[in-house]
Structure 1
């Protein structure tokens, strides 16, 4: 057994094969006192590769190997200490050394399963005492939701109160109602500023750049300026990046003049969001007002072999559902811990996949079911001849629940999965899209959270 684990460890990806973003988020959770919250994340994708209608689940063995062997070595911790703020509490690094995945639970599609856009491919949960990690790629930043909380080390004054005062002045200058900027986003900005007062940067497009992200950032930046700190920049990750950067620069100039804060005029603006060569040339033109460009997927992969673009989002904290609300409907997430089922006709043909809340009873073969197809304005009914559960439990409390299939078994299952697809879904040009639907209860929860005021509902949050 020891020899087997050693072999797994040598083959597994190292925990620091990730972004610095994950390490800063880890420290942010620690300083915000949110490290012991039980949490659940979902992994899914929004579009199929190659313009197709389906994908095949793969990589489960690598995921499990990563989880079972996860451990930050002394060299890893020393490296993190060299890139994180120098005033970071040494106790934070001691907890990093003790992290493992003994509290992690993973539910995922079996290797070789058909996977469709918008449907959960995997779910990762963790309870206090363990570590929450990503199940498709190393995401050690999420581990620190399970760390013991520590006191913040940023400004000791009531930054939140100062921010609210500045918000009124900023909104008056921008012609906005003080209730328009999203309170949850502002709280996140304040928490980040407290954790990293010398490196405060705001992502402006979570809800609305003009009506929320920008005024919230300005209020926090101006409050920090009164304490002797300067914000280091803003980032945009959706929409017309060039136009938004130009508009934001104009606002920075007028606000800098209005409140006599000259440095605000030149706050760096960074943009990202699958930027390719054409968009890069557009953003680099004279007068774009863009100071930094995040280059990633579209540049380092062949356009004819694009990446899948997976999404890993928070759906539950402490048993309470969470969803991301945004003006971009495509980026809105589905709240709560969920189960997924594949409905089939009497001849074995695929009818649709259904997502529902975990506490709902599963669909039954032969019984009529009312569902809400994604993107549809009305519900419909379906009577499946067969029902297959999709997400299987592979890891519970850090322990493997059943043997992983061999490569030959996974390949055979993949061939079987493909054989069940209709020709309309398999064609290379303009394939028919496979239908994914929500249960009535899940749709009702989405409607409730979408309609409720984010300032009043504790169940709404961006991830």
Structure 2
């Protein structure tokens, strides 16, 4: 895994520290609290999110403390000296419960819970949101491209277009979402994933002759030779020269791995390229396509019969185009031995109080049919209720169920074996097989049913009634 700085305490927003100082100075910092992480809307017009970033979050929270130089900096900002003394001994000693990394999750589900003192649960908020929201966004985008591409090879090379250092975790999340390799050597090294890359147009332009550029590259990389064929003229120059190199490699006991198309009408050019390669007896040479691809373009290319074997995706993946962010939030649900709620006249904005868990219900065909959110101490229940629309409910008495929430950190120590991005991807793939097709389509996907138990619904409604009554009286 990536080696983070030895301390991560400053990986936060300023107001987290001002609140923390307030808790400390008012002597409330040892009060117990519980926060939930969830998102409200699936990105890219889809119905689900691939949960990613848990391993990064756990590693960083395990190192959440402050160095002496960082404390000096906080002192220069005007923070109270007694609070800074407290921070000098601070480390996260709470508990974290979460769904598994790579799990398919849906709007409004509390998929991660942080328990501990109010000060430690508050301080890790920004770090947690930053990592989970970004990695889950990119993993979801990658997963959609995997659904579009089927079993074809997917290569990620978005580092040059990514938002600064975010590109490091974008490459990791891309693999978690289903991509095969990355061009990002830094991420490949740190996260134990495969890297891949061939040549740019500049390589070919640096030679007086395209054929000589190809021949020189093939001499140095005879086993993994992929030639970029669109620098000058794809059909009249690039592919004919690639065929010449393929024959020379064959005479030497090697095989040309592929050609890459990076511009033009990819459907037309890939079909002509396949025809030319096959007529030359080069049936095993792969066709790689790149140039501003996303899941919709990949789906369209394949629907048109484009014989493309490998897709290289950069900008749209590493930036999460066209959704800039996942709207994940972190809300207080329990404080000082009492459930807590954020009240709103808009029921969709009202949070679910108390310590909760999630059950996934599975039908007789081994397919997901619904998720239920309940209070953690509840026993089995047969009905789930729509969180915001009164009267809507679903009978799940005939379904099998599995609890999705597990403890992943105990008193500040990680309690599970962290998975590699490839292992996360394998888990996501297995879960996608259980998700009905109507939830996976890109255009108007069917909304997956997420409901709450009767006891949780009653608890929320009763608390909301009390707070709204107070507000009405005070106004």
TM interval, short-chain normalised: 0.5 to 0.7
Q: 1:340 aligns with which of 358, 376, 379?
A: 358
Matches within 5 A, 1:30-429: 30-83=24-77, 86=78, 88-102=79-93, 104-127=94-117, 133-134=123-124, 137-138=127-128, 304-363=322-381, 369-378=382-391, 379-429=393-443
Q: Is the 2:33–2:121 Cα contact (8 Å) retained in structure 1?
A: no
Quote the offset at 1:124 in angstroms.
0.3
Report what 1:434 is aligned to.
448
Alpha-carbon displacement from aligned partner over 1:400-440 (angstroms, at most 9, x marks no partner): 22212233221100111122221211111111111110001
Pair 1:302–1:380, CA change in 2 (3 A) = closer
What is the alpha-carbon distance in structure 2 between the residues aligned to residue 106 and residue 419 of structure 1?
Answer: 28
- TM-score normalised per structure 2: 0.55
Structure 2: 5+ residue stretches without partners: 131-318
Task: Determine if contact 2:38/2:330 at 8 Å carries over to the other structure.
Answer: yes
1:96 Cα deviation from its structure 2 partner: 0.7
Runs of 5+ unmatched residues, structure 1? 1-6, 141-300, 364-368, 458-463
The 1-side partners of 2:461 and 2:129 are apart by 31
Separation (CA, whole Å) in 2 of partners of 1:339 and 1:32: 32
Offset from partner CA, 1:85-117 (integer Å, 9 cap, x none): x4x431110001111012x10111101100100
Q: Distance in 1 between matches of 2:398 and 2:69?
A: 54
Asked whether the 8 Å contact 1:63–1:136 carries over to 2, the reply is: no
State the Cα distance separating 1:444 from its structure 2 match.
Answer: 0.5
* Structure 1 residue 328, shift from structure 2 partner: 3.4
Equivalent position SS for 1:10:
coil
Equivalent-residue separation in structure 1 for 2:467 and 2:42 (angstroms): 33
- Asked whether the 8 Å contact 1:340–1:354 carries over to 2, the reply is yes
Question: How many residues get paired?
Answer: 283
Report if the CA contact (8 A) 1:100-1:131 is conserved. Answer: no
Q: How much has 1:454 moved relative to structure 2?
A: 5.5
How far residue 17 of structure 1 moved from its aligned partner, in angstroms, is 2.4
Structure 1 residues 387 and 23, CA gap change in structure 2 (3 angstroms): same
Q: Deviations over 1:21-73 (max 9, x none)?
A: 21212122223332110000000000011111000111111011012222111
Distance 1:96 1:9, change over 3 A: farther
C-alpha contact 1:124 1:135 (8 A) present in aligned 2:
no
Q: Contact 1:23–1:80 at 8 Å: present in 2 too?
A: no
Tell me: CA distance 1:131–1:328, structure 2 relative to 1, closer, same or farther (3 Å): closer
The answer to whether the 8 Å contact 2:38/2:329 transfers is yes
Q: Distance in 1 between matches of 2:449 and 2:129?
A: 30
- Measure, in 2, the Cα distance between the counterparts of 1:335 and 1:432: 28
- 8 Å contact kept, 1:40–1:316: yes
Alignment RMSD (CA, Å): 2.7
Q: Distance in 1 between matches of 2:119 and 2:5?
A: 26
CA distance 1:12–1:337, change in 2 (3 Å): farther
Provide the rounded CA distance (Å) in 1 between the counterparts of 2:25 and 2:387. 38
Kept in 2: contact 1:46–1:118 (CA 8 A): yes
Q: CA deviation at 1:356?
A: 0.5
Would the alpha carbon gap of residues 126 and 139 (structure 1) be closer, same or farther in structure 2, given more than 3 Å must change?
A: farther
- TM (norm. structure 1) is 0.57
Once the two structures are TM-superposed, the CA of residue 127 in structure 1 deviates from its matched residue by 4.4
Check the 8 A contact 1:106/1:135 in 2, yes or no. no
Mark the CA change 1:12 to 1:415 in structure 2 (over 3 Å): closer, same or farther.
farther
CA distance in 2, matches of 1:400, 1:47: 29
Give 1:27's aligned residue: 21
Question: Tell me, what secondary structure is at the counterpart of 2:127?
Answer: coil
